[in-house]
Structure 1
Amino acid sequence: MATTGRTEQATEDNWMFPPDEGWTVDQVKDLELPFDWELMDGVIVPRGQTNLWHDHVRDELRDQLKEARPVGHAVHVERCVKLDEHTFVKPDVVLSDSRGVNLLAVACTPAEKVKLVVEVVSPGSKGQDRIYKPAQYAAAKIPCHWRVERERDGKVAVHEYWLNPDTRSYIPAPMHPVHRDKLITELPYPIEIDLTALLEI
């Protein structure tokens, strides 16, 4: 049950009982729990277990993006991104502008630094990856979003979205909304990725 007016830090004993207004990022930033988690609208949400396909594709995309990234940009997996005072998430892959960032001081990357978020859909997170998180990313004005799906034959499909800044919502990339076999795009920077080769081990 939520409690009004609480200002204490979240702990291992009270994390499941947020205040009426929800936990803030500052209240949970030092919280240690025996599972991985995110803060969504002031509520602590456990992250589900992923499979090998998910993790392999995530890591390969990270490597491809990192190799082609512009100077002054960084690519990380499951990097904490602060969307607002009551929400931080850990997208599977994050491309951010690293200029002026103090590596020793930053706990969560601010949304305004993020240029691309990639979510590799898992069986246990389909709703979050397809609906809830994209809406949050768009509201935070993150310019580009990729949703990666495993197709029935096990191959990779990348759904590419661009931000409509007027509506703060994503639209499918006009010339290439879904990539199969090969991803070629100019945003957030020109890159070409052989999606078939991602599955090679």
Structure 2
Amino acid sequence: MGAAQTTPQCGRPTEDTWMFAPADGWTYDQVKHLDLPFDWELVDGVIRVRGRTKLWHNHVRDGLASALSAARREPYQVVAGQCVMVDDRNTPKPDLIVFDPRKLDFFELECVPVDKLVLVVEVASPCSRQDDRVRKPALFATCKVPCYWRVELDRDQRLAVHEYWLNADTRTYIPAPMHPVHHDKLVTEVPFPVEVDLEALVGF
């Protein structure tokens, strides 16, 4: 009989053992060296595969990144697909983040500390919709990130941007009071004034 496969309890996983997390989960320092053939993030100590995205998703993400970068105010910066350090067992990778880079080491930083974020943007796709609607808003609200946008494509292939603001007392997100859902054009003053033509982000 062949040797039984056991779950590693310490040390660093390999490309063959990453899926067998120890009882208390992997830490980011244990897994950050992995060269895996897919995009991933660490959720409660478990490596979670990030699903493939369609062209519209990436086009919209990049268009929003450009609009936010053009409108940003000092000291904020905008970056796509960067991991966020919530704690050593949770390093989510939002589609976009706006953050304060002051006192961060630009050349050495791997994950942006969650307390530096002012906005998280998630472009929902079928494989991420539940996470983007429930798990990630709860996580980032608990961490006191001031703003959260969820971008979805409706049945008519029109964009809807759901804008949320943090209720600091309850550490939950509430719909933005003036314009909770943006269609055709996104206009908001937080985290800084920005106006985005949403119709122009879909199609070519």
Same fold by TM-score greater than 0.5? yes
Aligned match of 1:74 in 50, 72, 77? 77
Q: What residue number does 1:122 align with?
A: 125
State the Cα distance separating 1:2 from its structure 2 match.
Answer: 8.6
Q: 144-153 or 18-27: which moved more?
A: 18-27
**1:175 and 2:152 equivalent?**
no
5+ residue gaps, structure 1, are none
Determine whether 1:16 maps to 2:19. yes
- Where 1:95 maps in the other structure, the secondary structure is strand
Q: Name the % identity.
A: 55
Letter in 1 for 2:41: E
Number of residue pairs aligned between Structure 1 and Structure 2: 200
Q: Hey, what does 1:25 align to over in structure 2?
A: 28
**Aligned equivalents of 1:114 and 1:195: distance in 2?**
23
In 2, Cα distance between equivalents of 1:50 and 1:187:
28
Give the alignment partner of residue 47 of structure 2, picking from 30, 44, 54.
44
Q: Structure 1 counterpart of 2:156, which letter?
A: D
CA contact (8 A) 1:138 1:169 kept: yes
Which residue pairs with 2:195 in the alignment? Answer: 192
**Cα–Cα, structure 1 residues 66 and 21, in superposed 2: closer, same or farther, change >3 Å?**
same
Give the 3 Å change call, closer, same or farther, for CA 2–80 of structure 1 in structure 2.
farther
Q: Give the secondary structure class of the aligned counterpart of 2:145.
A: coil
State the secondary structure of the residue aligned to 2:47. Answer: strand
CA drift at 1:71: 1.7
Alignment gaps of 5+ in structure 2: none
Shift of 1:22: 0.9
How far 1:60 sits from its partner (Å)? 0.1
Query: Which 4+ residue blocks in structure 1 deviate beyond 2 angstroms?
Result: 1-4
SS in 1 for 2:19: coil
**CA distance in structure 2 between the partners assigned to 1:166 and 1:106 by the alignment:** 31
Question: TM-score, structure 1 length as denominator?
Answer: 0.94
> Distance in 1 between the 2:52 and 2:159 partners?
20
Output the TM-score relative to the length of structure 2: 0.93
Task: Please state if 1:100 is matched with 2:103.
Answer: yes
**Alignment correspondent of 2:149:** 146
Alignment partners' CA distance in 2, 1:188 and 1:65:
10
The CA RMSD measured in Å over matched residues stands at 1.6
Contact 1:2 1:18 in 2 (8 A): no
Q: Secondary structure of 2:178's match?
A: coil
Distance 1:47 1:160 in 2: 23
Distance in 2 between residues matched to 1:56 and 1:181, nearest whole Å: 16
Q: Give 3-state SS (helix, strand or coil) of 2:186's partner.
A: strand
Distance (whole Å) between structure 2 residues aligned to residue 36 and residue 178 of structure 1: 30
Q: Max radius of gyration: which structure?
A: 2
Assess if the C-alpha contact under 8 Å between 1:2 and 1:20 holds in 2.
Answer: no
